[in-house]
Structure 1
Amino acid sequence: MRSTLALSLLVSASVAQAALTITNPTSSSWWVAKSANTLAWTCQDSPSNQFTVLINSPTMASPLAIIAQENNFDCSKIITQDQASQPAGTGYTILLADPLNNTNVYATSDPFEIKALGSAYPSQVSSSASSGSGTASGSGSAASSTSTSTKKSGAVGAGVGVGGMGVVAGLVGLVFGLAAL
């Protein structure tokens, strides 16, 4: 009886650790309307390999799907203005849900704000994504434990997984090349 109880508690603790968590946006890391914005999540020990990304707010009748199927291992995604064009406002949340049953929600973000077009991005967007994520900055440096992005003058940055660092390095080179002109 004791070993059954211990095993049950161990399984319960394991399932609790397998929770998916949205690390960006947060209450202190907003999005800007009609702009490219970063969505980031913990991507280890997820309950699923794929999920649907939805956005919701108190003014919406129901959550709106903005990505039908997203791979969990991506760890972050740039959400374009074509995918999510909600107006400026507060109380928005992002939901990561079962692609076949959107009422089975794996994770819900903290309520966040979408600021008006032209607003400044937060000076630093941090996530607590575990190893496997990287750091994208103006210098193109990389780290292994956090995902950080700085956005200025409308430039878009994103914390991406190691596989996406080549894309980030290419974009940084392009930006600096255009700035030199």
Structure 2
Amino acid sequence: MQVDVAIYMEPMLFSRNPEFLAGSGGDVLNSEYINDEKLALHLLFDQDLPKEYIVWSDFFAEITSELLLNALYKESQDAIKYQMMISKGDALKENIRKRKAYLLKKKMGLAENKRYEDFISEVSDEAIYMLSMIATQRYINGVILGSPLEKLYEIFKTGCIPCGVKKNKDIVVFNPAVLK
């Protein structure tokens, strides 16, 4: 299946959007929210969790394993990497994007907020990896409405980050806006 570049690259390009991990003003997608960034980090990265949770890395590996084994996986990674390189090529656009992101975060009370910056520093690589797997799924299979990866993307588009999963597969979300 050949998918349009704009469709499969949308999640990766969102990582450059000022709203990426900027938080949200309200509840998102009827998800369970937590307000403690330490708990969010614990659920996202640790193995020793409260009994009602599944280890995030195990959950994410389960929903992406078919993609990793797909014959088009390497091709998808090369295409995504190439498109990201092309999109970053214009230095003026990149500077404007960074300034816009800074101004949005300043308006939200997050610019120059050490607590927020520390949290983003901790989670941004993991969040970008999640977005890359969403782009990979789109490259290989197109947009699969209702898939777990598309649900994660819906959470990201609200400025929040999925950070945990309960045993019943309900996603737990952290809203970085609580850090202001």
TM-score (norm 1): 0.25
User: Which has more strand, going by share of residues?
Assistant: 1
Structure with the greater alpha carbon radius of gyration: 1
Structure (1/2) with the larger helix percentage: 2
Could you say which structure has the greater relative contact order, defined with CA pairs below 8 angstroms and 6 or more residues apart? 2
